A and B are shown apart, each in its own frame.
Chain A
Amino acid sequence: MAAKKLSLKDKYSLLTRDLDWEFSYQDRKEAFPFEEFEGIKITDWSKWEDPFRLTMDAYWKYQAEKEKKLYAIFDAFAQNNGQLNVSDPRYVNAIKLFLTGISPQEYQAHQGFAHIGRQYGGVGARVACQMQSLDELRHVQTQVHAMSHYNKFFDGFQNWSHMQDRVWYLSVPTSFFHDARSAGPFEFLVAIGFSFEYVLTNLLFVPFMSGAAYNGDMATVTFGFSAQSDEARHMTLGLEVIKFLLEQHEDNVPIVQKWIDKWFWRGTRLLSLVGMMMDYMLPNKVMSWQEAWEIYFEEAGGALFKDLARYGITMPKYAELVEKEKEHVSHQTWWTFYTHGHAAGFHTWIPTDEELDWLSEKYPNTFDKYYRPRWELARKLEAEGKRFYTKALPQLCTTCQIPMLFTEMDDPTQISYRDTVYKGERYHFCSDGCCDIFNDEPEKFVQSWLPVHQIFQGNCGGPGVEQVLGEYYKMNLGADNLDIKGSPDEKRWKQWKGVA
């Protein structure tokens, strides 16, 4: 007679909890040396719950099936010249930014989870982090495989790993993950597992990927949704972590709240890049950044924070400010890239008439008043043969590393500046949120590797911007950068499509 099949709960208990052992001759504290220094108090690791009760055998089985489906689609995409079916060559620039800005961070997430998966005293948490670490490795690999096909036909895909910790705007996501990975294991989990995965990644992987589908990019939508199927598990882990920490000890509540405040703010700053991708870089549009923000942060995040209120957790600090920013950030960010388009590793452009009208309709309170006039000016300059590129290097925020491009929300014509003095040096910030984060851990953030400071200090080649871009960043100048108009990408596209 065949052995009775184990229930999910029994299997989980045998293949996860049962893997732990008692320390009879070693001090447990020495085995898990990072568990206490952040001030988090864990009284009983056995209270850790994994709601999916996923065990390693089931993990391999379902992940293998996901991979088979995904790679079948990559093959079909490549064999059928899928690159010719995208809506418009401008679209491809959104995925150049994805490969250079986001995929390397999947690798950092992999490294981060591999590290903390060793650091927890509880076996349930260790197994969950191990799986998440493998997921993140899968994400970077599948993204690189999907986009390697585009690398055969378009500029700007060739040096993503070299550029990751050098290029001015790529230091934004890179330093975000450096900050998380150099924190303690519990802060990392609240930062990446909860604040980023639960509250914010939906905005990247759900509406943006639906947009990729709508722009004919079968490969990207498929890796996006395949990655996001892992994220659904990560989100659940992130939420369980929070509940677990809050239930373990009341002293954990203010520490967790501080981390939520910090990482929510850092995450919203990081996502200004995604806002720009949705509003400006997808030629066929699914929804505006503002609409996506309302569904995936205000509604979904609101439900979450209402659920956590019973532990004494409140909405993240500056959530009210962010509610105003949703009508501005995508416009301010794309304008910055447009005016720095000579220094970007992808192409930029002025929105078409239809796109300007779409933006006016989606942003009735802000677009016509503040942003349309800029594009009309840009168009006038372009028509006169004076396409505008700024000559200056931007001042960067010491915390988020984004150029000072955001405005005050009660006066969208005034750039928002904050500063603080630490040990006789003055540091600059884009917002109160970033300034608070610095003031809480100045000894950490004074070490920031700020790309513009590094250029001025002579650490990035030079002396001219062209040498920095060409020799230090390894951009192919005249091909990877500048406006889409007149670019080799545009020329090739027209040849393939048989238009002049």
Chain B
Amino acid sequence: MSKVYLALQDNDVSRYIVEAIEEDNPEVTVIHNPAMIRIEAEGHMVVKRETVEEKLGRDWEVPELHLNLITLGGNVDEDDDQLSLSWNS
């Protein structure tokens, strides 16, 4: 299985998004580089609105992810409740 990944700008909002991703995907690896945080996982990863809202303590829409997103790898599927990344092989 190949790795999917997300890279986020290292800032106060991303910190909570990363916490949410770690909670929903216990197998992810988090790597800190200058000014950015890279989160990778084998095959699949999901960012759930509900968990991010809980961590942030406010409403959060999935497309808001774009404000802090630097790059990603994997097939994307997004709806009102989640954004997922996956490889089919």
Q: Do A and B bind each other?
A: yes
Residues of A within 8 A of B (CB): 7-9, 51-54, 58, 62, 65-66, 69, 202, 205-207, 209-211, 213-214, 221, 225, 228-229, 231-233, 235-236, 239, 286, 299-300, 302-304, 306-307, 309-310
The stretch of B3-11, B22-30, B50-58 in contact with A is B3-11
Contacts of A213 in B (CB 8 A): 34-36
Sampled A-B contacts (27; CB under 8 Å): A8-B63, A8-B78, A8-B79, A9-B79, A51-B75, A62-B64, A66-B66, A69-B67, A205-B70, A205-B71, A206-B70, A206-B71, A210-B33, A213-B34, A225-B9, A229-B9, A229-B68, A229-B69, A232-B72, A235-B73, A236-B72, A299-B2, A300-B3, A300-B73, A302-B2, A307-B87, A310-B88
From A211, which residue of chain B is reached at the shortest CB distance?
B34
Instruction: Known contacts A206-B70, A300-B5; decide if A307 and B80 are in contact (CB<8 Å).
Output: no
Chain A proximity of B79: nearest CB distance (Å): 6
Q: Is B77 on the interface with A (CB-CB < 8 A)?
A: yes
Taking a contact as CB atoms under 8 Å apart, the answer to whether B89 and A7 are in contact is no
Which residues of the other chain, B, contact A229 by a CB distance below 8 angstroms? 9, 66-70
When the two chains form their complex, are residues B89 and A62 in contact, meaning their CB atoms are under 8 A apart?
Answer: no
Asked whether, in the complex, the Cβ of A51 is within 8 Å of the Cβ of B77, the reply is: yes
Measured between beta carbons, the chain A residues less than 8 angstroms from B68 are: 229
Chain B residues in 8 Å Cβ range of A69: 67
A206 near B36: Cβ-Cβ < 8 Å: yes
* Other A-B pairs, 7, CB within 8 Å; known A206-B71, A303-B73, A306-B87: A7-B79, A52-B63, A53-B79, A214-B35, A229-B66, A300-B3, A306-B2
A306 contact set on B, CB distance < 8 A: 2, 87, 89
Given the complex of chains A and B, what is the CA–CA distance between A202 and B80 in angstroms? 27
CA A210 to CA B62, docked complex, whole Å: 25
The answer to whether A232 and B66 have CB atoms under 8 Å apart is: yes
A51 to B67, CA, bound (A): 17
Q: Say which residue of B36, B87, B89 sits within 8 Å of A225 (CB atoms).
A: B36
- What is the CA–CA distance of A265 and B80 in the complex, to the nearest angstrom? 39
Cα A239 to Cα B7 with chains together (Å):
18
A303 touches B2 (CB 8 A): yes
| Closest B residue by C-beta to A49 | B77
With the chains together, A52 CA to B80 CA distance in Å?
Answer: 10
Closest to A233 in B: B66
**CA A299 to CA B2, docked complex, whole Å:** 8
CB distance from B43 to the nearest CB of A (A): 9
> Which residues in window 18-51 of B have CB below 8 A to A?
33-36
Contact of B35 among A210, A233, A236, A307 (CB under 8 A): A210
Residues in A with CB closer than 8 Å to B9 are 225, 229
* Residue contact A51 to B76, C-beta cutoff 8 Å: yes
B73 neighbours in A (Cβ, 8 Å): 235, 300, 303-304
CB distance from A160 to the nearest CB of B (A): 25
Contacts of B4 in A (CB 8 A): 303
- Taking a contact as CB atoms under 8 Å apart, the answer to whether B78 and A53 are in contact is yes
Cβ 8 A contact of B70, one of A225, A302, A307, A309: A225
Q: Are B2 and A307 in contact (CB under 8 A)?
A: yes
The 8 residue pairs across chains A and B that have the minimum distance between CB atoms: A303-B2, A213-B35, A51-B76, A214-B34, A213-B34, A300-B73, A210-B34, A228-B70
